[in-house]
Chains A and B, each alone.
Chain A
Amino acid sequence: MASMSKKAEKGTVGSKWAKFKRYLPLYLMFLPGAIYLFVNNYLPMTGIVVAFKNYNARKGIWGSPWAGMKNFEFLFASPDAWTITRNTLLYNVVFIILNTVLGIAFAIFICDALSKRMKKVYQSAILFPYLMSAVILGYIVYAFFSQQTGIVNNSILPALGMDEIAWYQKPEYWPFILVFANTWKGVGYGTLIYVSAINGIDPSLYEAAKLDGARKWQQIRYITLPFLIPTIITLTLMSVGRIFYSDFGLFYQVPRNSGLLFPTTNVIDTYVYRGLMETGNIGMSAAAGFYQSVIGFALVLLANGVVRKVSQENALF
């Protein structure tokens, strides 16, 4: 009895070691990146503590006196707290949905382009806006919507027999403008990733489907989309983690910091920037970041849990 269990134990230890040996190269491959992440991301993470401190440069991060939750108060002290939270969440949800749906659609269209040359043109064009900084995007939007000199007010509206509109004073138009601007600028990112995923599909699958007489949309429905699901899930889960963050440039530069547009353009990041611009309080900006991360973290854990229930292998962890 005793010897048996001893034998069994030895057996597991031995197989564990063998298993480890077999996987050792994989761990070694993981190592360089892990070291970098440790240095670049984990070492500075001590800074999160600053969110709970009255930061003192000469005493350092840990030597500074504690501040409790005081640094967080400004996030909720404003009557705008609800507006900025709502805006941040709604825009992100719309962005995630649109970028996924359009990204997949464009990727499929690109892969079915009439010729290789066309494919190249589409592929290059769709990425170009991604290169543009928010400041310049702001100028381009302004070129269209400026009240005095904009193309819309000067050329398009008069041609339609409509009065000019003070675009930068009317918050109701901005959800559309911002969503369009974000899609215009950002859809290329997802598209290229989906293109590469589609390129990884075994062409013989499509050929077999064609032989079976499957129509185009059936091929998409039964071959392409199922194959893209892991990519969609990964991208979405990662976006959910950053759902309390927003592209600062898009919400600050593009509406040109116009106060009257705040009801539909103010998000957490712009609120924090405006609030701390003058004083530059390190503890308060750390607090804002921590708040955004914690909510994102909680939501990701939740979403990942749901994914794991449905399909274990598509969960992130």
Chain B
Amino acid sequence: MKEKPFSPYQIVTNAIMIIWTILIVLPFLLLFMSSITQEQVLVSNGYSFFPKELSLDSYKYILRSGGTILRSYGVSILVTVVGTLINIILSALMAYPLSVKNLPGRNIMMFFVFFTMLFNGGMVPSYIVWSNWFGIKDTIFAQLLPNLLLSAWNVMMIRTYFQTSIPDTLYEAAQIDGATQFRVFRSIVLPLGKPILVTMGTFAGLAYWNDWTNGLYYISKDKTLYNVQNLLNQMVQNIQYLSQSSDANMAAAASTIPTTGVQMAIAFVAILPIMLIFPYFSKYYTKGIALGAVKG
């Protein structure tokens, strides 16, 4: 394979990807540099890749909350891990029947799923259902259950993949062997569907990691259940709202919170774990599934 070093196609495409990667990395670098720039320099000279004076004050401010931020990381990690696992199991289970072409009632089932992507009842009824009926308010389930446990969007993507990437012949062969539907699911669909399950699992995980609305709606008394995003968002929002107020008292309240640099630091703190973990996960994407292996 290596006799011809690089084809023009490879050179061009890799060049494009390298440029795009740089375009992505540069703003992140800027973000990081801003977070370690001294606040005064940041405000007066603006953002720069080469700040004149460095300072770790922003991170110190975040760390001042001490145990709070560690605990919120704990909540985030727990919820993300558990939520993603359940999400991916539920989605795969739901997507498989939808991918079986001659299943009676499949269209109606598809519509049942798809409809939830279009219409929603809004905040108040959801709150009544989850908070009043299921009593999840101020419990860890508040971070876990509403909205994120299953996404119709993910189900649709997975079922499309199942439908196109798993050859019908495999099913037929399995059925001739007398395999039950659950066996087919476990020994054919899941292994072959790994690329999409990992991908959609990633997005489900990111949705959990990035979510702050559940905490906002369903956690009011027990702030120990805040996840990282709740905590950081609360800081960012307070800064924004207070500093824009026309009332002198509120502006005074805002002035005690460090501003720009801290927001950058907050952003960095929130995404750092993902940036560290993701490259590890990405090896699952690179593994093309050799169909032959299953076939043979």
Contacts and interface: CB of A to CB of B under 8 A. Distances in A.
Nearest to B128: A44
A216 to B, nearest CB: 5
Contact of A125 (B25, B104, B110, B180): B25
A129 B118 CA distance: 26
Interface string A25-36: 111011011101
B195 interface: yes
A125 B27 CA distance: 12
Contacts of B150: 33, 36-37, 40
Given A25-B181, A124-B278, A143-B46, A189 B120 contact: no
Contacts of A282: 122, 124
Given A30-B93, A131-B275, A136 B181 contact: no
Main secondary structure on chain B at its contact with chain A?
Answer: helix
B196 A202 contact: no
A293 B275 contact: no
Interface residues of B, number: 106
Interface string B264-296: 100100110011001100110111111110000
B7 A216 contact: yes
A213 interface: no
B122 A44 contact: yes
A285 interface: yes
A214 interface: no
A193 B203 CA distance: 10
Nearest to A123: B282
B279 A196 contact: no
Given A30-B97, A125-B24, A149-B47, A204 B114 contact: no
Contacts of B126: 40, 44, 47
Contact of A230 (B34, B93, B108, B164): B164
Interface string A4-38: 00000000000000011001011101101110110
Given A293-B119, A317-B111, A43 B275 contact: no
Given A47-B126, A231-B164, A235-B157, A132 B271 contact: yes
Interface string A295-317: 01100100000000000010011
Main secondary structure on chain A at its contact with chain B?
Answer: helix
Interface string B11-24: 00110110011011
Contacts of B195: 195-197, 199-200
Contact of A45 (B46, B120, B210): B120
A16 to B, nearest CB: 9
B271 A128 contact: yes
A263 interface: no
A37 B113 CA distance: 8
Interface in B97-133: 97-98, 100-101, 103-104, 107-114, 116-122, 124-126, 128-129
Interface in A87-102: none
Interface string A46-75: 111010000000000100000000000000
Given A109-B17, A285-B122, A114 B6 contact: yes
A238 interface: yes
A118 B14 contact: yes
B65 interface: no
Contacts of A131: 206, 210, 271, 274-275
Nearest to A227: B164
Nearest to A19: B104
B122 to A, nearest CB: 4
B256 interface: no
Contact of A46 (B44, B114, B121, B288): B121
Nearest to B267: A136
A184 B23 contact: yes
A49 to B, nearest CB: 9
A124 B27 contact: no
Interface of B: 6-7, 9-10, 13-14, 16-17, 20-21, 23-25, 27-28, 30-31, 34, 44-48, 90-91, 93-94, 96-98, 100-101, 103-104, 107-114, 116-122, 124-126, 128-129, 134, 145-147, 149-150, 152-153, 155-157, 160-161, 163-165, 180-182, 185, 192, 195-196, 198-200, 202-203, 206, 210, 236, 240, 260, 263-264, 267, 270-271, 274-275, 278-279, 282-283, 285-292
When A and B form their complex, which 3 residue pairs have the shortest distance between CB atoms, in order from nearest? Answer: A149-B46, A47-B121, A47-B125
10 contacts: A23-B104, A30-B97, A43-B129, A50-B124, A106-B20, A118-B14, A119-B286, A123-B285, A128-B24, A199-B288
Interface of A: 19-20, 23, 25-27, 29-30, 32-34, 36-37, 39-48, 50, 61, 106, 108-110, 112-114, 116, 118-133, 135-136, 139-140, 143, 146, 148-151, 154, 184, 189, 192-193, 195-197, 199-204, 216-217, 227, 230-231, 234-235, 238, 241-242, 282, 285-286, 289-290, 293, 296-297, 300, 313, 316-317
Given A149-B44, A200-B165, A282-B124, 4 more contacts: A30-B93, A44-B122, A109-B17, A296-B118
